[in-house]
């Protein structure tokens, strides 16, 4: 049940944050391996991107890749949040005094992040490529033309084999290990600190919102370079679909930094934050509330018995 709750939390939050994910993907792909002075700017910012995408491809294009995004939200978060909750319940994230241990929380959140990265990578690849596909006037990066999630799965398997579904898996595992450590550790610690200072003692919903707001800022700053890298590796495809720009995570990070500078590694930070912050808040609040309801139902069932 812990894993189902985590999955529902992630999938539910995805519905609201997918438009920002589309914008983020496009902004991270534009100017790929070009200096800022040489790159053509299709998207000048978050609101401009929202406008030009809706104008060129229609308003529904802002929800491109929603189906694989929801599959990703469920599979990834069922593993990540489910594993971490099991660790919390069993006291594996606490020290002998019963307080949150930063080291233990980082370890378990990182492990759960890596496992969720492997589980969710196929859906991530399909999602990213569908989100990147656009009208030629605003297209950035390599364009993969899939009719939908199922067509994308079949096409990738036919042209790239099973290996195609695990493009960029090392990058996404790195991103999720860092992101999960930042997200779940700061969420747990922020809740503990807020309670210790007398905040939200009788309002679990307010406590979850406050702690997740802190968590969202930390996560966005920590993972942005790895998020850019992941998007680039997902979208490039294999050698069967064209020239390979990057051979791996380090090669991608190095090439981006050399040609696009530090700015290149933080492309799409704005939409990343606007996606991460509400997604973190929604998913962690839903997760926290469902866990609280489950705990209450277990207590009530014991009382009835």
pLDDT tens, position by position, 192-250: 888 998 888 888 778 877 887 788 888 888 999 999 999 999 999 776 566 789 999 99
Over the stretch 2-12, which tens digit does the pLDDT of each residue have?
567 666 766 77
Q: Judge whether 300 lies within some domain.
A: no
Flag the least confident range among 2-11, 92-101, 121-130: 2-11
Q: Judge whether 157 lies within some domain.
A: yes
Over the stretch 67-82, which tens digit does the pLDDT of each residue have?
999 999 888 878 888 8
6: domain CATH number is: 1.50.40.10
Domain that holds residue 261: 2-293
Q: Judge whether 7 lies within some domain.
A: yes
Instruction: Name the domain count of the chain.
Output: 1
Q: What is the mean pLDDT of the chain?
A: 87
Q: Judge whether 302 lies within some domain.
A: no
Rounded distance between C-alpha atoms, residue 205 and residue 194, angstroms: 13
198 Cβ contact list (under 8 Å, min separation 6): none
Over the stretch 237-292, which tens digit does the pLDDT of each residue have?
776 566 789 999 999 999 999 999 999 999 999 999 888 877 767 766 676 777 77
Structure tokens belonging to residue 276: 């991460």
Handedness of CA 206, 299, 193, 191 (dihedral sign): negative
**Alpha helix (H) residue ranges in the chain:** 2-29, 46-57, 66-89, 102-132, 149-160, 169-196, 204-236, 249-265, 269-304
Q: Judge whether 305 lies within some domain.
A: no
pLDDT at 176 over 80: yes
Give the torsion through C-alpha atoms of 164, 167, 169, 170, to 10 deg.
140
32 to each of 35, 39, 50, 204, 259, how far by Cα in Å? Answer: 9, 8, 20, 44, 9
pLDDT at 103 over 80: yes
- Say what the pLDDT of residue 21 is: 94
- Say what the pLDDT of residue 82 is: 85
Whole-model pTM: value is 0.81
């Amino acid at each position: 049940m812990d894993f189902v709750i985590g999955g529902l939390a992630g999938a539910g939050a995805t519905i609201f944050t997918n438009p920002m994910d589309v914008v983020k993907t496009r902004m991270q792909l534009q100017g790929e391996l070009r200096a800022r002075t040489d790159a053509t700017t299709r998207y000048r910012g978050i609101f401009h991107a929202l406008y030009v995408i809706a104008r060129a491809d229609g308003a529904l294009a802002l929800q491109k890749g929603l189906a694989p995004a929801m599959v990703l939200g469920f599979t990834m978060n069922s593993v990540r949040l489910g594993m971490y909750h099991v660790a919390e319940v069993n006291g594996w994230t606490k020290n002998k005094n019963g307080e949150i241990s930063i080291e233990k929380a980082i370890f378990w959140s990182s492990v759960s992040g890596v496992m969720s990265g492997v589980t969710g990578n196929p859906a991530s690849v399909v999602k990213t490529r569908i989100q990147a596909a656009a009208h030629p006037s605003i297209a950035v990066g390599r364009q993969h033309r899939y009719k939908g999630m199922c067509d994308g799965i079949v096409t990738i398997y036919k042209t790239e084999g099973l290996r195609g579904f695990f493009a960029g898996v090392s990058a996404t595992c790195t991103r999720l290990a860092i992101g999960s450590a930042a997200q779940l550790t700061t969420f747990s610690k922020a809740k503990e600190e807020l309670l210790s200072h007398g905040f939200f003692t009788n309002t679990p919903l307010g406590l979850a919102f406050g702690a997740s707001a802190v968590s969202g800022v930390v996560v966005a700053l920590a993972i942005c370079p790895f998020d850019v890298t992941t998007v680039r590796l997902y979208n490039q495809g294999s050698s069967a679909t064209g020239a390979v720009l990057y051979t791996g995570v380090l090669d991608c990070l190095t090439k981006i930094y050399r040609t696009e500078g530090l700015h290149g590694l933080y492309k799409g930070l704005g939409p990343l934050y606007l996606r991460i912050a509400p997604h973190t808040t929604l998913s962690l609040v839903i997760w926290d509330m469902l866990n609280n309801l489950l705990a209450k139902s277990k207590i009530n069932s014991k009382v009835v018995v």
